[in-house]
Amino acid sequence: MQAYRFALDLTSSQQRQVLAHAGAARVAHNWALARVKAVMDQRAAERSYGIADEVLTPALGWSLPALRRAWNAEKAVVAPWWGQVSKEAFNTGLDALARGLRNWAGSRRGERAGRKVGFPRFKSRRRSTPSVRFTTGAIRVEPDRMHVALPRLGRLKLHESARKLARRLEAGTARILSATLRRESGRWHVAFTVEVDRTERAPVWPDLVVGVDVGITHLAVLSTGEMIDNPRHLETAQVRLRALGRAMSRKQGPDRRTRAQPSKRWARAAARLGRAHARVANLRRDGLHQLTTGLATRYGIVVVEDLNVSGMLANRRLARRIADAGFAEIRRQLAYKTVWNGGRLLVADRWYPSSKTCSACGAVKTKLTLAERTYYCTTCGLVLNRDFNAARNLAALAAEFDPAGSGPVAGRGAIRKTRLGGQEAAKRQPGTTVNTVDKTGTVAAQGATAA
């Protein structure tokens, strides 16, 4: 499964049609959510009166088919104009609600990993992002590769050529499953979800292992000695973003208390600020894709750390720079790109002391502050860049336990509390765990015992 995303150049009438479809999705979502909440509140009130469960108000199913049946029974009253838009618009809103309810229920039962998911909320016309998804009907790329055809919307002009997707479609190695229209920062995009038949690939150096240590000074430091500078797109754009933010604050904006509508100048200023933020996001996305693609296509095994990014963002002095670097996005992209290119991604244990460990003798420091950018080993006298030392330790996780590059790979983890032994801690402890990414892209923990 792969997505192809293209920018669109829509006419005024086409924008109104797409917005009408996105509005229909929002109407269906809000109506179904109100219906679900009403049934839940009614059943809770009846239980408080001591009414038996057998005679309670019938429950409304939360699955997509159940919500669709309820909508079809009431759409003539709720939305008399339903015939003016595609049925896929209403299906988009109902599907979003079904997913939200399923995630909320799974989170409450403890069946869903990650943060707790709240109950779905109503979508606002002004604050929600307009979006609509098409799964049926005529969805195709035109022969000129500069237009796409979607149900009820007709031919839409692309801002760039869709030749990469068109070549796969013409060769029969791809099949379009759905198309999603979404507006971001004033520009509409179309994203095709495609089922792709991939040929087996091999990295340029299939037997070479590389450790990747991400940071702020350098976005990535490789165990080969290569250092990729951090472009710091957000910090570079701060002067312009502050100026645009001040200009917008001087204009008459919306007021929820008095229900005052924003002025046209405020809307134009907000659009300029949104485009500036979108430019920063696009530059960051492009740079991360270039970095991860280069790593996945060159090296057979890539080793990264399991960083606690959400915890790192609690540092108010570094939060902006950490968020701008995109540590989590680097790992996410490497997870699927290594599979695409025939390599493997190894994720070191979160408590593995890659920065505190000497890559030459294996001694572990008791403490290493962030201000110490050069690693000094008092045992063997090694003097090395801190990030380069950590990258070499990450590469050693795969090289020491699996030098041939075959079989299960394990690495040295670390206990949460470093054992003290004078100025230096004890040697690293073998036999702990490292996380690996299997062929499906999921992270699985594997253990190993040193001989």
| pLDDT digits 0-9 by tens, 143-178 | 999 999 999 999 999 999 999 999 999 999 999 999
The three-class DSSP label of residue 183 is: strand
The three-class DSSP label of residue 274 is: helix
- Inter-CA distances, 106 with 59, 60, 99, 111, 280, Å: 18, 18, 10, 5, 35
Q: Mind listing the pLDDT tens digit for each residue in 119-152? A: 999 999 888 999 999 999 889 999 999 999 999 9
Say if residues 237 and 275 touch (Cβ distance below 8 Å): no
Residue 152 in tokens: 């009820």
At position 374, the amino acid (one-letter code) is T
Residue 326 in tokens: 């995109």
pLDDT given for residue 22 in this prediction: 96
pLDDT for 331 beyond 80: yes
pLDDT given for residue 444 in this prediction: 41
The total of other beta-carbon atoms located within 10 Å of residue 277's CB is: 14
In sequence order, what DSSP letters do the residues of 309-338 get, joined into one string?
HHHHTT-TTTHHHHHHHTHHHHHHHHHHHH
pLDDT given for residue 415 in this prediction: 39
Sheet with 140-141, strands from edge to edge, namely 131-134, 174-184, 187-196, 2-9, 154-158, 147-150, 140-141
pLDDT for 439 beyond 90: no
At position 307, the amino acid (one-letter code) is L
HSE (side-chain half, CA atoms, 13 Å) at 165:
30
Q: Which of 79, 41, 81, 76 is nearest to 60 (CA)?
A: 41
pLDDT band at residue 378 under the 50/70/90 scheme: confident
Per-chain mean pLDDT for the chain:
86
pLDDT given for residue 400 in this prediction: 62
pLDDT band at residue 185 under the 50/70/90 scheme: confident
Q: Mind listing the pLDDT tens digit for each residue in 284-309? A: 999 999 999 999 999 999 999 998 88
pLDDT given for residue 101 in this prediction: 96
Distance CA 174, CA 164 (A): 11
Distance CA 421, CA 428 (A): 12
pLDDT band at residue 66 under the 50/70/90 scheme: very high
pLDDT given for residue 436 in this prediction: 45
pLDDT for 433 beyond 70: no
pLDDT for 430 beyond 50: no
Q: What residue has token string 């499953």? A: 177
pLDDT given for residue 441 in this prediction: 37
pLDDT given for residue 103 in this prediction: 95
pLDDT for 403 beyond 70: no
pLDDT given for residue 38 in this prediction: 95
Say if residues 223 and 211 touch (Cβ distance below 8 Å): yes
User: Phi and psi at residue 445, in whole multiples of 5°?
Assistant: -90, 135
pLDDT given for residue 428 in this prediction: 37
pLDDT given for residue 405 in this prediction: 40
At position 22, the amino acid (one-letter code) is A
In sequence order, what DSSP letters do the residues of 186-235 get, joined into one string?
TEEEEEEEEEE-PPP---SEEEEEEEEEE-SSEEEEETTS-EEE---HHH
pLDDT given for residue 187 in this prediction: 92
pLDDT given for residue 401 in this prediction: 54
At position 400, the amino acid (one-letter code) is E
Lowest mean pLDDT among 162-171, 368-377, 430-439: 430-439
Q: Which of 340, 330, 342, 333 is nearest to 301 (CA)?
A: 342
The catalytic residues are: 213, 305, 387
Mean pLDDT, to the nearest integer, of 262-283?
Answer: 94
To which H or E segment does residue 243 belong?
helix 238-249
Residue 431 in tokens: 């036999």
Distance CA 297, CA 443 (A): 20
pLDDT for 407 beyond 90: no
Q: Mind listing the pLDDT tens digit for each residue in 11-59? A: 999 999 999 999 999 999 999 999 999 999 999 999 898 888 888 888 8
Higher-confidence position of 437 and 233: 233
The percentage of residues in the chain with a pLDDT greater than 70, rounded to a whole number, is 88
Distance CA 224, CA 388 (A): 9
Mean pLDDT, to the nearest integer, of 200-222?
Answer: 92
User: Phi and psi at residue 260, in whole multiples of 5°?
Assistant: -75, 135
pLDDT given for residue 399 in this prediction: 66
How many Å from the N-terminal Cα to the C-terminal Cα in the chain? 41
Distance CA 179, CA 171 (A): 20
Is the Cα torsion angle 324, 327, 328, 333 positive or negative in sign?
A: positive
pLDDT given for residue 126 in this prediction: 83
pLDDT for 432 beyond 60: no
Distance CA 264, CA 74 (A): 37
> What does R_g of the chain's alpha carbons equal in angstroms?
27
Higher-confidence position of 407 and 200: 200
Residue 66 in tokens: 């159940």
Distance CA 47, CA 154 (A): 51
Q: Is 239 exposed, middle or buried (0-12, 13-18, 19+ CB in 10 A)?
A: exposed
